[in-house]
């Protein structure tokens, strides 16, 4: 439910004129200062000579635990969409400005251990040759996606590559290039009954020597007319692991849909070896997507008697 941070090709890939998305995640509160991530995105569609173009803006904030490492990202998203019969192709790009900074107040290093007092002394040098406490750089992402509408089966596959320009983000004045991160996604909307749909998802990411896979499904129950005007409720489970190395979490998902609004909540049950410290409590995340109605006229057929 954060389309602009998963693949730039998802910019404008919706049945609507414009879309607002908001996500907030809080992780590992039980073992110290939590990790916090917030993403806010806006994208809309434009039509030029019957060609679908899309533009958007996404802001991402991330705060990493006790070291107070904070990251701010502002990205412009653009995409082009082309439909051929039941096939739809998407290509997108995302120039990004990144600001990272840290605050070491309240932290301690091995060299700050004072053997005379048996305590850490923040006034002692930390022994790390930081040249600056902040760094700024330009980043660039791109992606493609393909979907097909087979009536009751609507799959979509996507590939995105982040940090294509391999920016330097070193705090030490040296050359440390961020390795490219590749993301592969596969999702589908499968109608199995008149009022029930399956929403399976797979996401695989590879960044340097690290890799991760997230897989599972939601079940969507379509609702009849009701006072809340809700169109559906859904729930499901996703599993996240380091690709056959370390099963990290089981993600429990619940949500509700309205004509133009999708509200979701998920909670990570930590099932790795870290569970002895977290007592299974990993992270919670709240997601909201609002999509305005499409201004594009639908194709209509007017019956006409023949004589």
pLDDT in tens, 255-286: 999 999 999 999 988 876 665 555 556 788 99
Q: Can you tell me which residue has the tokens 């509200």?
A: 263
Nearest to 83 by CA among 303, 302, 299: 299
**pLDDT cut 90: percent of the chain above it:** 61
Confidence label for 134 from pLDDT (cuts 50, 70 and 90):
confident
- How much is the pLDDT for 279? 59
Task: Report, as an integer, the average pLDDT of 22-34.
Answer: 80
Pick 29 or 98 by higher pLDDT: 98
DSSP string, 68-87: TEEEEEEEEEEEEEEEETTE
Residue range 231-258: average pLDDT?
87
Dist CA 160 CA 146 (whole Å): 12
- State the pTM of this model: 0.85
Pick the CATH number of 3-291 from 1.10.760.10, 3.40.50.300, 2.40.160.40, 3.30.565.60: 2.40.160.40
Average confidence score pLDDT of the chain: 87
How high is the pLDDT of residue 227? 80
Give residue 126's pLDDT band: very low, low, confident or very high (50, 70, 90): low
Quick check: 32 pLDDT over 80?
no
Q: At a CB cut-off of 8 Å and minimum separation 6, what does 107 contact?
A: 66, 67, 68
Give the up-direction half-sphere exposure of residue 56: CA atoms within 13 A in the CB hemisphere: 34
Phi and psi, residue 67, nearest 5°: -80, -5
- List, in order, residues 6 or more apart from 302 with CB less than 8 Å away: none
What does the alpha-carbon distance between residue 28 and residue 223 come to, in Å, rounded to a whole number?
A: 35
- Lowest model confidence (mean pLDDT) among 54-63, 170-179, 206-215: 170-179
Question: CA-CA distances (angstroms) from residue 175 to 41, 129, 165, 208?
Answer: 31, 14, 14, 16
- Residue 139 has a pLDDT of 97
């Amino acid at each position: 439910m954060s389309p602009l941070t998963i693949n730039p090709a998802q910019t404008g890939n919706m049945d609507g004129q414009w879309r607002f998305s908001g996500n907030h995640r809080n992780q590992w509160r039980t073992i110290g200062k939590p990790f916090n991530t917030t993403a806010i995105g806006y994208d809309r569609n434009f039509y030029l000579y019957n060609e679908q173009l899309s533009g958007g803006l996404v802001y991402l904030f991330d705060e990493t635990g006790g070291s107070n490492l904070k990251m701010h990202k502002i990205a412009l998203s653009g995409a082009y969409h082309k439909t051929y019969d039941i096939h739809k192709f998407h290509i997108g790009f995302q120039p990004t400005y990144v600001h990272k900074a840290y605050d070491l107040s309240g932290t301690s290093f091995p060299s700050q251990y004072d053997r005379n007092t048996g305590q850490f002394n923040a006034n002692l040098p930390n022994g790390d040759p930081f040249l600056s406490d902040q760094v700024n750089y330009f980043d660039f992402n791109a992606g493609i996606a393909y979907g097909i509408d087979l009536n009751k089966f609507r799959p979509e596959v996507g590939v995105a590559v982040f940090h294509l320009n391999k920016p330097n983000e070193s705090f030490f004045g040296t050359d440390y290039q961020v390795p490219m991160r590749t993301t592969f996604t596969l999702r589908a909307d499968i109608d199995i009954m008149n009022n029930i749909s399956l929403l399976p998802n797979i996401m695989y990411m590879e960044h340097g020597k690290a890799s991760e896979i997230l897989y599972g499904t939601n079940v969507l129950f379509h609702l009849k007319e009701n006072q809340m005007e809700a169109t559906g409720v859904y729930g499901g489970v996703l599993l996240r692991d380091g690709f056959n190395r370390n099963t990290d979490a089981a993600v429990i998902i619940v949500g509700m849909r309205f004509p133009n609004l999708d509200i979701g909540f998920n909670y990570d049950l930590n099932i790795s070896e870290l569970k002895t410290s977290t007592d299974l409590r990993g992270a919670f995340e709240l997601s909201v997507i609002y999509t305005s109605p499409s201004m594009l006229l639908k194709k209509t057929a007017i019956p006409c008697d023949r004589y």
